[in-house]
Structure 1
Amino acid sequence: MTVIEPAPPTAPAAVPPLAARTGAVGGSPVRDILAVTARPEVINFAGGLPAPELFDREAIAAAFRDVLAETPAQALQYSTTEGEPALRTGLAARMSARGAATDADDLLITTGSQQGLSLLATALLEPGDTVLVEDPCYLAALQAFGLAGARVVAVPCDADGVDPRALEELVARERPKLFYTVPTFQNPTGRTLPAERRAAVAEVAARLGVWIVEDDPYGELRYDGERVPWIASYPGAEDRTVLLGSFSKVMAPGLRLGWLRAPAALRRACAVAKQAADLHTPTVNQLAAARCLGGLDAHVARVRDVYRERRDAMLAGLPGALPEGSTWNRPEGGMFLWARLPDSYDTTALLPEVVRHDVAYVPGAPFYAGEPDRSTLRLCFVTQTPEEIGEGLRRLGRGLRS
């Protein structure tokens, strides 16, 4: 009888050589911090997470039930890449009512507005192209542009946002493919670009020919003051601005629903890129969201009232938590507050000690495309109750003092 000997164990296959761009772009420090601080006893000011207890669960559940009961074949089937007509029509009406005349055909539904950034990077950027960004900038945008091989250059900003004169100088010198901005309740700083600066940015774009990518995931979360129009609505910017939006902060992030409003040729290029990425955003989610649009304004008003109270609780507790000489802003809306400690503090180096006190923040350094300000940090104020915020700030104070 022939005895068959077992084959010797083989070594794991080597990983194939990775594309150079994957090594040049790191992961998300915010995600890393959330993984480390997932313990329930940690009061976490690090995430950009909406408050889950405020999700309109009944309305969303009813919308899914109705969609699956009334149009199951459509809801569970493939859809067009551009998105479901019902959702695009409802979104177009909302955007038009807010000052940006929009037709359904002007919109491309995306799997979160983050996908919109990736599609734009694919459609517009060649390796080595220059992209201008705010200083500091939304972290995931830096990742998307970095993966595309772009050269990212920061535009100087102050407490009100981007400096239009600095933008003009950099556009003239660098000849960038685009300028990326979150002008309303910016992530990470919470600041809002005033109307006169928006007009100046639009004028620079029109005169020098630069494209603007205007990202607006937080604009409906205004607690004080009057709404400032989108840059996309200003003369000179209408035909060279891409406007990104999202339901993540006002409906639910788990739906992964965003949209991209752009001139036809660029929108078509993004649709081709989306076909290659995921074919289309889930049909059932789109149809359910379309049914929720009618009650969305009332829901957002309720959310705003709660978030305003939480913002005020954080502002009230900061003087006792941060060291003498610290400064911070008072955002009119959104989810984030930006603080700067005295120069001797390095918030990245301090974070492990602070986490030992069961509280967390995001250091400011990763948000900078250029030289970072290591004394800065971002605090999210919407996820915890006022009582939890007060306790979290007391823990933060102890951690910083230690």
Structure 2
Amino acid sequence: MNDDSSIVRLAATLREEAGRLRPGDRLPSSRELMRLYNVSPVTVSRALGQLAAEGRVVIRPGSGTYVAPAVTRTGDTADLSWQTVALGDRVVDDTEVTGLLTPPPDGVIPLTGGYLNPALRPSKALSAAASRALRRPDVWELPPLAGIPELRRWFAQEVGGDVTPSDALIVSGGQSALTHAFRALAAPGTPVLVETPAYPGALASARAAGLRATAVPMDRDGVRPELLAEAFAVTGARVFLCQPTLHNPTGATLPLERREQVLAIARAAGAFVIEDDYARYFTVAPAPPPMIALDAHGVVVHINSLTKVLSPNMRVAGVIARGPAARRLRASQVVESFFVSRPLQETALEFVGSPAWRRHLTALSAELTVRRDALAAALTAQMPAAEIHLVPRGGLHLWVRLPPDRDEETVVEAARRAGVLVSSGRIYYPAEPPGPRIRVTHSAAVHLPELAEGVRRLAAALDDL
């Protein structure tokens, strides 16, 4: 149950419990609350959110919910509860995304996260590119709203086919691109199809746009075309989000034949395909061409971001689209944020146009291969009861199935107490997960010894349960 009365009752119960505890004491986990009070995850999330808004608890993603420190106020305390009614029942839940972005505490090894460890980033070369960019005479001038022409040309050339610079739009990173695409292509309240499992940031963005994420199953080669066609027919959806190359979290890469099938199915359904090509620079083996290069009918909206491959602060991405969809995307960009900072665009252009870009990709590919193999070998040797979904042709993660008798949240919490962070599998599913899974990342650790120690701690935590 997740109606308003259920939320109110659970919030009242937790309010009383928090009152009996001391500041800093931990409340039961979300899973425990669901079991104890027979409520849904949405009910738990909203009840805890209400208490957090009241200042009674502090939610720490990946750690838990704690009683807030006592605050001494002078005068009357403002009653902000009226906002609950004014805001309505739409929820923008950043819990899972914030958890993935939060740095680990000292002494804790991160086997989670979506960005490269600082040691793997080309920081000196980026600084040099920024210095050159800032010396350009027009760097502080207003940029073209769709992006500086040279950078749009570069993004168009990266995907090939008959894409032109006029098809490209520069936005503030891949997450922003997803948000623009969802808002531009689908009306609030309508369904959007997603691979399952799916990137949590995309799920959060779709929900914030008022869309209903509907799962389409995958296998080791990516989304299953026959089930995609069925999902379009059953739901009437007009948008399908996919990551065809090194899918997050499974690592699957969609073969050329399936890419062509997906395009044909979407075109027959009169639907768009949002191609999140986030991992195009993380491949260590040749991948099929992006779907935008195979698309002659304006079906695909393609996203290519520089953030993950360079730095969390390089919030520059190219969105490629055609026709009325492209015009709507550009309008969305202007209405929401006008344009991307010109100094940042110029820095990106300086870097990708320099020899440092290719050197970085070559070195990164070699390092990621070593890390992937080391992680896979350590998991196989130390956690034989777990199963790696597949060893991908690159990427940053491995998708691991835990023994069916293990509780996923308990494993993640035990690992945290043992000093290692992993991603809970449930956050990757728009509906009920099929079983206990975790995502393990090899790109966030400082070096191979730390990666090995992280797996040792994870295995010990699993064995102790």
**Which residue does the alignment assign to 1:26?**
93
**Which residue does the alignment assign to 1:381?**
442
Moved more, 349-358 or 135-144: 349-358
The alpha-carbon deviation at position 323 of structure 1 amounts to 4.7
Answer whether contact 2:238 2:270 (CA < 8 A) is retained: no
**Which residue does the alignment assign to 2:40?**
none
Identify the match of residue 65 of structure 1 among 125, 131, 151. 131
The one-letter code sitting in structure 1 at the alignment partner of 2:276 is: D
Answer whether contact 2:399 2:437 (CA < 8 A) is retained: yes
The alpha-carbon deviation at position 10 of structure 1 amounts to 4.0
**Which residue does the alignment assign to 1:232?**
292
The alpha-carbon deviation at position 44 of structure 1 amounts to 0.6
2:451 matches 1:393: no
**Which residue does the alignment assign to 1:245?**
304
How far apart, in 1, do the equivalents of 2:317 and 2:450 lie?
Answer: 31
How far apart, in 2, do the equivalents of 1:195 and 1:33 lie?
Answer: 31
**Which residue does the alignment assign to 1:183?**
244
How far apart, in 1, do the equivalents of 2:295 and 2:151 lie?
Answer: 28
Structure 1: runs of 5+ lacking an equivalent: 1-7
2:153 matches 1:94: no
1:41-56 equivalences in 2 (<5 Å): 41-56=107-122
**Which residue does the alignment assign to 1:216?**
277
The alpha-carbon deviation at position 206 of structure 1 amounts to 2.1
Percent of paired sites with the same residue: 29
The alpha-carbon deviation at position 319 of structure 1 amounts to 1.6
How far apart, in 2, do the equivalents of 1:182 and 1:28 lie?
Answer: 22
How far apart, in 2, do the equivalents of 1:20 and 1:122 lie?
Answer: 20
* 3-state SS in 2 of match to 1:165: helix
Question: Per the alignment, do residues 103 and 147 of structure 1 end up closer, same or farther by CA in structure 2, a change over 3 Å counting?
Answer: same
Question: Per the alignment, do residues 393 and 376 of structure 1 end up closer, same or farther by CA in structure 2, a change over 3 Å counting?
Answer: same
**Larger relative contact order (Cα-Cα within 8 Å, sequence gap ≥ 6):** 1
**Which residue does the alignment assign to 1:274?**
333
Deviations 1:3-27 (A, max 9, x none): xxxxx8343252634544642x422
Question: Per the alignment, do residues 272 and 9 of structure 1 end up closer, same or farther by CA in structure 2, a change over 3 Å counting?
Answer: same
Answer whether contact 1:248 1:256 (CA < 8 A) is retained: yes
How far apart, in 1, do the equivalents of 2:244 and 2:126 lie?
Answer: 29
2:262 matches 1:201: yes
1:8-157 equivalences in 2 (<5 Å): 9-12=75-78, 14=80, 16-17=83-84, 19-20=87-88, 22-23=90-91, 25-32=92-99, 35=102, 38-71=104-137, 74-96=138-160, 100-157=161-218
Question: Per the alignment, do residues 346 and 81 of structure 1 end up closer, same or farther by CA in structure 2, a change over 3 Å counting?
Answer: farther
* 3-state SS in 2 of match to 1:132: strand
**Which residue does the alignment assign to 1:254?**
313
Moved more, 293-302 or 105-114: 293-302
Deviations 1:317-339 (A, max 9, x none): 01233252534310111111100
2:379 matches 1:318: yes
Answer whether contact 2:115 2:311 (CA < 8 A) is retained: no
Q: Give the total of aligned pairs.
A: 386
TM-score (norm 2): 0.79
The one-letter code sitting in structure 1 at the alignment partner of 2:156 is: A
How far apart, in 1, do the equivalents of 2:441 and 2:386 lie?
Answer: 21
The alpha-carbon deviation at position 249 of structure 1 amounts to 2.2
How far apart, in 2, do the equivalents of 1:202 and 1:142 lie?
Answer: 22
Deviations 1:151-181 (A, max 9, x none): 2110111121111000111112211020000
Answer whether contact 2:371 2:443 (CA < 8 A) is retained: yes
Question: Per the alignment, do residues 400 and 30 of structure 1 end up closer, same or farther by CA in structure 2, a change over 3 Å counting?
Answer: farther
How far apart, in 2, do the equivalents of 1:220 and 1:355 lie?
Answer: 30
Identify the match of residue 429 of structure 2 among 368, 381, 385. 368
Structure 2: runs of 5+ lacking an equivalent: 1-73
**Which residue does the alignment assign to 2:343?**
284
Answer whether contact 2:263 2:299 (CA < 8 A) is retained: no
Question: Per the alignment, do residues 14 and 253 of structure 1 end up closer, same or farther by CA in structure 2, a change over 3 Å counting?
Answer: same
The alpha-carbon deviation at position 30 of structure 1 amounts to 4.9
Moved more, 81-90 or 305-314: 81-90
Deviations 1:329-360 (A, max 9, x none): 10111111100012111222221211111111
How far apart, in 2, do the equivalents of 1:45 and 1:396 lie?
Answer: 9
How far apart, in 2, do the equivalents of 1:33 and 1:318 lie?
Answer: 21
Answer whether contact 2:232 2:238 (CA < 8 A) is retained: no
What's the C-alpha RMSD, in Å, of the aligned pairs?
1.9
Answer whether contact 1:33 1:46 (CA < 8 A) is retained: yes
* 3-state SS in 2 of match to 1:244: strand
Deviations 1:71-100 (A, max 9, x none): 2xx32233232111121122222322xxx3
Question: Per the alignment, do residues 21 and 229 of structure 1 end up closer, same or farther by CA in structure 2, a change over 3 Å counting?
Answer: farther
Answer whether contact 1:95 1:101 (CA < 8 A) is retained: no
